[in-house]
Amino acid sequence: MTTYKTRFAPSPTGYLHLGHAFSAIIASELAEKSSGNFYLRIEDIDLGRSKINYEETIYEDLEWLGLKYEKQVRRQSEHFKTYEEYLKKLRDYGLIYPCWATRSEIKKIILSGGKKASSWPLDPDGQYIYPEIYKGISASRKSRLMLSGKDFSWRIDIKKAISFAESKIKSKISFDEIGLEPKGIRSAEPKLYGDLIIARKDIPTSYHLSVTVDDSIQNINLVTRGLDLYPSTSIHRLLQIILDLPEPKWFHHNLLRDKNGQKLSKSTNSTSLKSFRNKGTTRGEISKLIKKIDPFPLNEVYATKQT
């Protein structure tokens, strides 16, 4: 049986809710059942939205849930230099290019093309597919823009990146899913994202780049997370191949939903674990609550056949 190194990787941009507890419990149990390790990673690259108070509450919540993680907690904001090195590799391979457009400028450009914004293709996260402005601009325009000092992000040339990766592995890109049915190898579809941002304007990274680099640095061999992040696995697998990073397996779990069928989220103010704690709810009651709204019983998740 494989010994799994799993992780729980919350962003301290709000209080954790039952969905996070569900995710953390699954990751911790998968590690425990395989005599592996469970890691905590604080995904705080968004310096504006991450708050120390939220981070401290994460530690308190996990303690209250009785989840034991490895001592070494990785905080992404302490590793921008590392992400920058990987970003440089992508640049050296000629797979990323600078983009000076803001989100609203992109929207304006899409609208000005005579097309309705509603008919413009969206990526799996609901963002407009980038219209590839600034791709292949002349060297002189590029250096003028660089000299202007205007902030820019780095976008991946997705077609080029896919053919770079495919010629490296001499096959189509795929990944191994052991959580969702049917379990096994699935084909990756990074092209659904178009030329997405790999490093934001303010930092030398993005969610996709740092999560990929960190899973490899932390030797994670089973990435456990919610179904909402399933599509991004295609991008992560693509980056792993390009950057020579090891290939983990993925365990995506269903999302807990509220009475109206909406997934629990920080932005819709789902009841926080902290407020359950403050009300005197016990860990046992939390498990019961999760079971009640869980789309499939926890035991079934744990019983997942391991290879």
Q: How far is the CB of 42 from ligand GLU (least distance, A)?
A: 9
Among 107, 104, 98, 41, residue whose Cα is nearest residue 75: 41
Distance of closest approach, residue 228 Cβ to ligand GLU, in angstroms: 7
Which of these ranges, 3-11, 87-95, 107-115, 253-261, lies near ligand GLU under the rule CB under 6 A? 3-11
Fill in the amino acid letter for 208: H
Task: Indicate which single residue of 65, 211, 264, 286 sits in contact with ligand GLU (rule: CB under 6 A).
Answer: 211
Residue 41 three-state SS: strand
156 CB-contact burial (10 Å; exposed 0-12 / middle 13-18 / buried 19+): buried
Interaction of residue 194 with ligand GLU, rule CB under 6 A: no
Residues 32-51 that bind ligand GLU (CB under 6 A): 43
Classify strands 153-156 and 197-199 as parallel, antiparallel or unpaired.
Answer: antiparallel
Q: Which is nearer to ligand GLU, 153 or 212 (CB)?
A: 212
- Pick one of 5, 74, 155, 225: the residue that binds ligand GLU (CB under 6 A): 225
Q: Assess 233 for contact with ligand GLU (CB under 6 A).
A: no
Q: Are strands 5-8 and 37-42 parallel, antiparallel or unpaired?
A: parallel
Least separation in angstroms between residue 169's CB and ligand GLU is 22
List the one residue from 11, 212, 218, 221 that touches ligand GLU (CB under 6 A). Answer: 11
The contacts of residue 21 (CB under 8 Å, 6+ apart) are: 61, 65, 273, 286, 290
Strand partners, 237: none
- Minimum CB separation of residue 153 from ligand GLU in Å reads 19
Supply the minimum distance, in Å, between the C-beta of residue 225 and ligand GLU.
4
Nearer CB in complex with ligand GLU: 110/235 = 235
What residue spans of the chain are helical by DSSP H?
18-33, 52-64, 80-92, 103-112, 139-148, 158-169, 207-217, 232-242, 273-278, 283-293, 298-302
CA distance 179 to 307: 12
217 lines the binding site for ligand GLU (CB under 6 A): no
> What would the two tokens of residue 306 be?
């391991």
10 binds ligand GLU (CB under 6 A): yes
Q: Is 229 in the site for ligand GLU (CB under 6 A)?
A: yes
Among 4, 5, 6, 9, binds ligand GLU (CB under 6 A): 9
Query: Which tokens sit at 299?
Result: 């035991």
One symbol per residue from 139 to 178: x for binding ligand GLU (CB under 6 A), - otherwise; what is it?
A: ----------------------------------------
Cβ neighbours for 218, distance < 8 A, ≥ 6 positions apart? 5, 7, 39, 41, 74
Footprint of ligand GLU on this chain (CB under 6 A)? Answer: 9-11, 43, 211, 225, 229
